[in-house]
Amino acid sequence: MDAGGTGRGSLPELLKILPTRLRYSRRLTRLFRWGPAWEKACAQRLLLERPAWPGVTGNEQVVYLICLIGRDRAKDWRRVGALLRQTLEALLAQADPRWQAIICGQDWPEGMPEDRRIQFLPFTAAPEDTPPHDKNDKYDRLTDWVRQSGIETGYAFLLDGDDVPHPDLTGYILSDNNGTGYLLDQGYMLAVGTRRGRVLGHRSLRDGRLENNTFFRNCGSCVAAYFDNRRGGWGTALLEGVVKVPHGRLPELTRLMGVRLGWVPFPAMCYLILHGENDYVGRQVPPKLSEARVREISRAFPGLYFPEASEG
């Protein structure tokens, strides 16, 4: 292994994840990639594969963990607040009410919905001690919150504050309740304020998608990790294993951890792009969606806004 993450791991470990990597990799040159994230995943297995875990309780809930950019780093703070409000309103519209949302950041925008399940966790590190990208520090705070919350068991879902969950996401996770976690392979990418986007998922002739362009490859709002704070439970070990790794590699990394995440069997999230806060040089504008697709997305995510066809 080298520091750049291009070295080779042990042959048995590489062979274990090779089928998964072949399925999802777009570049064959990365088939034998190995680095610190893969080493960490192997180390996590020693904890996660311990026998005789207590099992699910039936009292689980979904805890949505949101890192919020600071006001001084935002390009448009009002836009940040509007996007977060849309995300929180989508949570309030969940068919299953057994959820909480914990938002960690330096500042709390005005006009957010008020609900006992929504909590703001202040991020108080001094500016001179905060790295340019402080998301990992905020996730440390959120993980500590889960560990100390008094909630025995549940699923910690990593959610960006500009993405929109499907109304049935919480309900599906808690009804299936597999005791490990879930990964989103289906969803939508939408350019804000337009009728442009992409359907994300596995290869599909119906959708004209010839390669695996799965949701988890594109968006970090894609994983729910089971936590178990009971005596003898694995605590937040799985959450710690998935929280700071490349989300496009989650299937193979969790395989190395000895954990199989379940798939949510419907498009469960909208990944919103080109709204000014997650743009980057070279990001392409997605193609126009068909009218049938716009209707499909509007029915599934009633809180989303689409302009008239003549505008977008």
Contacts 24+ apart (CB under 8 A), 203-208: none
Predicted pLDDT at 6: 40
Can you tell me the distance from the alpha carbon of 188 to that of 272, in angstroms, rounded to the nearest whole number?
Answer: 8
Residue 37 domain flag: no
Residue 270 domain flag: yes
Do 200 and 264 form a contact (C-beta atoms < 8 A)? no
Predicted pLDDT at 248: 83
Alpha-helix runs per DSSP H in 166-267: 169-176, 215-218, 237-242, 250-256
pLDDT in tens, the chain (312 residues): 333 344 444 545 555 555 555 555 555 445 555 556 555 665 566 556 665 577 899 999 999 999 999 998 888 999 999 999 999 999 999 999 999 999 999 999 999 999 999 999 999 876 666 665 688 899 999 999 999 999 999 999 999 999 999 999 999 999 999 999 999 999 999 998 899 999 998 766 666 555 668 999 999 999 999 999 998 888 999 999 899 888 888 887 887 778 889 999 999 999 999 876 665 545 678 899 999 999 999 999 998 888 876 555
Amino acid at 78: R
Residue 33 domain flag: no
Residue 22 domain flag: no
Residue 138 domain flag: yes
- CATH assignment at residue 198: 3.90.550
* 189 φ, ψ (degrees, to nearest 5): -110, 125
Counting the structural domains of the chain, the total is 1
Predicted pLDDT at 7: 42
The pTM assigned to this predicted structure is: 0.84
Residue 257 domain flag: yes
Predicted pLDDT at 193: 87
Q: How far is CA 250 from CA 146, 149, 184, 269, in A?
A: 21, 26, 10, 17
Residue 53 domain flag: no
The residue segments making up the domain with residue 78 are: 61-300
Predicted pLDDT at 283: 61
Residue 270 belongs to what H/E stretch?
strand 269-273
Residue 34 domain flag: no
What burial letters (b/e) apply to 292-311, b meaning 16+ CB within 10 Å? ebbeebeebbeebebeeeee
Do 160 and 215 form a contact (C-beta atoms < 8 A)? no
